[in-house]
A and B are shown apart, each in its own frame.
Chain A
Amino acid sequence: EPEVTQTPSHQVTQMGQEVILHCVPISNHLYFYWYRQILGQKVEFLVSFYNNEISEKSEIFDDQFSVERPDGSNFTLKIRSTKLEDSAMYFCASSGERNGSPLHFGNGTRLTVT
Chain B
Amino acid sequence: AQSVSQHNHHVILSEAASLELGCNYSYGGTVNLFWYVQYPGQHLQLLLKYFSGDPLVKGIKGFEAEFIKSKFSFNLRKPSVQWSDTAEYFCAVNPNTNAGKSTFGDGTTLTVKP
Report A's interface with B, CB cutoff 8 A. 4, 31, 33, 35, 41-45, 48, 55-56, 58, 91, 93, 95, 97-108
In contact, B42 and A107 (Cβ under 8 angstroms):
yes
Q: A43 touches which one: B90, B96, B99 (CB < 8 A)?
A: B90
In contact, A105 and B104 (Cβ under 8 angstroms):
no
For B96, list chain A residues within 8 Å (CB): 99-100
Q: A103 touches which one: B42, B51, B102, B107 (CB < 8 A)?
A: B102
B24 in the interface (beta carbon within 8 A): no
For B107, list chain A residues within 8 Å (CB): 42-43
Report B's interface with A, CB cutoff 8 A. 32, 34, 36, 42-46, 49, 51, 90, 92, 94, 96-107
For A107, list chain B residues within 8 Å (CB): 42-43
Rounded to whole Å, the gap between the CB of A89 and the closest CB of chain B is: 10
For B44, list chain A residues within 8 Å (CB): 43, 91, 93, 103, 105
Q: Which of B101, B103, B107 has the most A CB atoms < 10 Å from its CB?
A: B101
A35 and B94 CA atoms in complex are apart in Å by 14
Rounded to whole Å, the gap between the CB of A46 and the closest CB of chain B is: 10
Asked whether A102 and B100 contact (CB < 8 A) given A42-B106, A42-B107, the answer is no
For A48, list chain B residues within 8 Å (CB): 98, 100-101
Can you list 14 A-B contacts with CB-CB less than 8 angstroms, sorted by A residue number? A31-B100, A43-B90, A43-B92, A48-B101, A55-B100, A56-B100, A99-B96, A99-B97, A99-B98, A101-B99, A103-B100, A103-B102, A105-B44, A105-B45
Question: Who on chain A is nearest to B100 by CB?
Answer: A48
For B102, list chain A residues within 8 Å (CB): 45, 103
In contact, A100 and B101 (Cβ under 8 angstroms):
no
Asked whether A98 and B98 contact (CB < 8 A) given A42-B105, A42-B106, A43-B90, the answer is yes
Besides A45-B101, A108-B43, 11 new A-B residue pairs in contact (Cβ under 8 A), listed by A number:
A35-B104, A42-B107, A43-B104, A45-B102, A48-B98, A95-B100, A98-B100, A100-B96, A103-B46, A103-B99, A106-B43
In contact, A100 and B100 (Cβ under 8 angstroms):
no
In contact, B100 and A91 (Cβ under 8 angstroms):
no
A107 and B90 CA atoms in complex are apart in Å by 15
